[in-house]
A and B are shown apart, each in its own frame.
Chain A
Amino acid sequence: MISNSMTLSLLNFSYLAFGSLALAMFSHFRGAFDRSPSPAQSRLLYWFGWGVLAVSYYIGILYQGFAYGSILFTGIISLAGLLVILTLSYRAHHLPHFMAGSGVLGTLLLLFA
């Protein structure tokens, strides 16, 4: 049986990852912080986003096997992306806060899963 806290943890990490990828973009960074990102910041956010995404996929496969884990992960990132878009559209300034929260929550859920 699948553990729901594990899935939730992966959802939180995917949210964090997609949030970083969004913030790596000029316009979304401006939308959230009201200032422009430096190129270094952009690059850092970009690779951090991809890194977190890759690690969560790996965790997903580890605990659910390659077939089931891949399918589950695809579903998770679709929802996470949607949540990031909704945040950007309605609460752009809070995106960094939500990302910090999801990072913490994701780690806690992973540790106590």
Chain B
Amino acid sequence: MKETFFRSMTWLHTWVGLLVCWVLLLVFFAGTVSYYRYEISLWTKPEIHSDVLQAYQTDNLVHQLQEGQAYLSAHAENAKDWRINFPTERKPYLSYSWQTHPEPGERRGQFIEHIAHIDGQDMVTDIRGSRGGNFFYRLHFDLHYMPAKIARWIVGFCTMFMLLALISGIVIHKRIFKDFFSFRRNKGGRSWLDAHNISSVLALPYHLMITYTGLITLMLMYMPWGVITAYEGDARAFRAELKPGREQVAASGTPAPLIQLSTLLPAVKASWGNTPIKQVVISNIDDENSRISFYQNTQQSVTDLRIPLIFSGVSGEQLSQASDTPSAAHATHDTLMSLHTARFAEPVLRLFFFICGFMGCAMIATGTLLWAVKIRQKQQKLIKQGNKPSFGLRLVEGLNLTFIAGLPLATGAFFYANRLLPTQMADRAQWEVHSFFAVIFLTAVLAYFDRSLTSWRRVLGLSAVAFMAIPLLNWATSSQHLFQNIASHQWALAGFDLLSLLIGIALWFARRKLAQTHTKSSNRVAASASRANKGKRVPTASAKVASDPELSAKEGE
């Protein structure tokens, strides 16, 4: 261990941060993108972009419920359950969906969703296979190509490291208030440190919150012993007590007709007033034990609880009360969970969450870039003598290129795959995901051979063009283009295109910035042309360092 507290904290911050930063970047990036999970899902289903999107209509509920019940009993007679999903702000369409009984050997049955047209005539049934925003949501904690359980342990481990890095970072940042507003441009390593500090400190409340609550989301998996002891190993009993509404009642086997769903609306209204209903779930259909659960749209309340109103499907008797207040511990847990998922956030707050998440990505990226810059400075002499940079440095620089520049490009590839792969392709949804990872892999291959600024420029330039062209892609492959979406107030779809355009422009600026640095540093290389360094490889780090005042002064002359 190092001799002083401060130095050991610095050591901890550096190594804890560096060890997991690329997985963390992936997780943070996926999480940030997931704030627009439903918006992305909507964009990835161009089949429903016209004649489908509608707002919630209180007056039309009776009719919609009756239609839904009739449709489901005609099309999904033998389903495990039925769901009627009313339009919400983020999923602005009416849909009837059901889950089939699992085939032998399957854990879950197939999930089928049919979406209603505005005019109530026929349904949209042939929607392309795509995981849409759910891919990023799952990637955030389940990663991919591995069992979810292992992935969650990896993510949890990395999150714990992140919490350590955050706290040790606060401890070692002596000038946290003095340097609060300081960003010194074009100062090589200093600038990276400033950028790291700014992205960390400004969004620090967010970073601490999201990391801590991230651990909370899976706390019972990471630390199950309390529950095991209290419930003597019976996890099911714990869950039943925690969420009585979720308790599954087994079918009795005695057939009994289902009542009309719409007859329950007055009882729902008596409990909830005019609060919009989000979903109606019918389980054990046409059985004596059938259950009808109404879920409300919790809108802007800071909660993740889904407390249903449950009715018997045969008698219509109300089986649960609306006013079950959760215990203090339960409420605390719920608040922390909802802070993490931000389901309550309306568009403006959602944008702030997105910006903060983006700053988190910037914090991780600048941290590892800073490490590479510093180490390269240390090895500068050796490298100039013609030695190769150390393995650690090459590895870090390679991973930096792969993940920092590769992730936006891979995301772009995912959207292009969504629109360009044939709609009837087998395993289509999976191939969209494969294209995401294929691009990361290709970037890694590029990084293996060439980690110079030229590579960075190429990858960033490609992503910039890809993102700037997304509105065009949407125009070419969907029935509604950007201006139509703006005209018809479809802000989720229009916002997707506009945000992509903005991200593309930002990436283009990043590329241009690198190009400027590049010319500056080649000038310097040309000046010292007799050196062993042939200028073929302009290394990331020293190029950054090279953009010093001396050179700018020279250019000014």
Answer yes or no: are A and B bound together in one complex: yes
Residues of B within 8 A of A86 (CB): 183
- How many chain A residues have a CB neighbour from B under 8 Å? 26
Docked CA distance A6–B229 (Å): 50
A25 partner residues in chain B, CB cutoff 8 A: 178, 181
Bound CA span A17–B7, Å: 35
Within the complex, which residue of A18, A27, A75, A81 is in contact with B352, where a contact is CB–CB below 8 Å? Answer: A75
Contacts of A2 in B (CB 8 A): 300, 346, 348-349
Q: Is A76 an interface residue (CB 8 A)?
A: yes
Do A68 and B181 contact each other (CB < 8 Å), given the known contacts A76-B352, A78-B359, A81-B202?
A: no
A77 nearest CB across to chain B (Å): 8
Is A74 an interface residue when CB atoms closer than 8 A count as contact? yes
Could you tell me the distance in whole angstroms from the C-beta of A68 to the nearest C-beta in chain B? 6
Alpha-carbon separation in the docked complex, A76 to B181 (Å): 16
In the assembled complex, the Cα of A91 lies from the Cα of B294 at a distance in Å of 55
Bound form: Cα–Cα A82–B204 in Å: 12
Q: Which of A72, A81, A89 contacts B349 (CB 8 A)?
A: A72
Contact code string A73-109 (vs B, CB < 8 Å = 1, else 0): 0111011011011101100000000000000000000
Let me know if B48 is at the binding interface, CB within 8 A.
no
Q: Distance (Å) between the CB of B89 and the closest chain A CB?
A: 9
Does B475 sit within 8 A of A, measured CB to CB?
no
* Shortest Cβ distance from residue B131 to the other chain A in the assembled complex, whole angstroms: 28
B355 touches A22 (CB 8 A): no
Q: Tell me whether B302 and A72 are in contact (CB under 8 A).
A: no
Distance between B183 CB and nearest chain A CB, rounded to angstroms: 5
Please tell me if A40 contacts chain B, counting CB pairs below 8 Å.
no
Residue numbers in A under 8 Å from B206 (CB-CB): 74-75, 78
Q: Which of A4-40 contact B (CB under 8 A)?
A: 4, 7, 18, 21-22, 25, 27-28
B243 nearest CB across to chain A (Å):
22
Q: Which residues of A contact B345 (CB under 8 A)?
A: 71
Interface class of chain A by DSSP: helix
Within 8 Å by CB of A1, from B302, B346, B356, lies B346
Measured CB to CB, the closest approach of chain A to B509, in angstroms, equals 13
Cα–Cα, bound, A104→B185 (Å):
30
Which A residues are CB-close (under 8 A) to B301?
Answer: 67
Quick one: which of A21, A74, A85 contacts B183, CB cutoff 8 A?
Answer: A85
Q: What distance in Å separates the Cβ of B173 from its nearest Cβ neighbour in chain A?
A: 15
Whole-angstrom distance between the Cβ of A10 and the nearest chain B Cβ:
10
CB distance from A111 to the nearest CB of B (A): 20
Contact with A along B155-195 (1 / 0, CB 8 A): 00000000000000000000000101111010000000000
In the complex the two chains form, what is the Cα distance from A1 to B344 in whole Å? Answer: 12
The answer to whether A68 touches B300, judged by C-beta atoms less than 8 angstroms apart, is: yes
Q: Does B448 contact A (CB under 8 A)?
A: no
Chain A residues positioned under 8 Å from B346 (CB to CB) = 1-2
State A84–B128 Cα separation when bound (angstroms).
45
Query: Quick check: is B503 within 8 A (CB to CB) of the other chain?
Result: no
Query: Is the pair A71, B202 in contact by a Cβ cutoff of 8 Å?
Result: no
CB of B198 within 8 A of chain A?
yes
- Our pick among B198, B205, B353 for the contact of A85 (Cβ within 8 Å) is B198
- Which residues of A have CB within 8 Å of B180? 21-22, 81
Contact B352 A79 (CB under 8 A): yes
The reply to whether the CB of B227 lies closer than 8 angstroms to some CB of chain A is: no
Those of B310-346 within 8 Å (CB) of chain A: 335, 339, 344-346
B281 CB-CB contact with A under 8 Å: no
Say whether, besides A2-B349, A68-B302, A78 and B181 are in contact (CB < 8 Å). no
B203 contacts the other chain (Cβ, under 8 Å)?
yes
Chain B: CB-nearest residue to A22? B181
Q: How far is the CA of A72 from the CA of B205 in the complex (A)?
A: 12
A85-B181, A88-B181 given; A75·B359 CB < 8 A: no
On whether the beta carbons of A79 and B178 are closer than 8 Å, the reply is no
Say how far B232's CB is from chain A's closest CB, in angstroms: 36
Contacting residue for A82 out of B178, B202, B339, B344, CB 8 A: B202
Residues of A with C-beta under 8 A to B335 = 67
| Residue pair B355, A75 in contact (C-beta under 8 Å) | yes
Residue with the highest number of chain B CB atoms closer than 10 Å, among A4, A27, A78, A88? A78
Contact B181 A84 (CB under 8 A): yes
A27 to B346, CA, bound (A): 39
Q: For A85, what are the chain B residues with a Cβ–Cβ distance below 8 Å?
A: 181-183, 198, 202
Most buried by A among B182, B352, B356: B352
* Docked-complex contact A72 and B344, CB < 8 angstroms: no
B31-81, CB < 8 A from A = none
Whether B349 and A71, one on each chain, are in contact in the complex, defined by CB atoms closer than 8 angstroms, is yes
Residue on A nearest B339 in the bound complex, by CB: A71
Interchain CB contact under 8 A, B300 and A4: no
| Interface residues of B, Cβ cutoff 8 Å to A | 178, 180-183, 185, 198, 202-203, 205-206, 300-302, 335, 339, 344-346, 348-349, 352-353, 355-356, 359
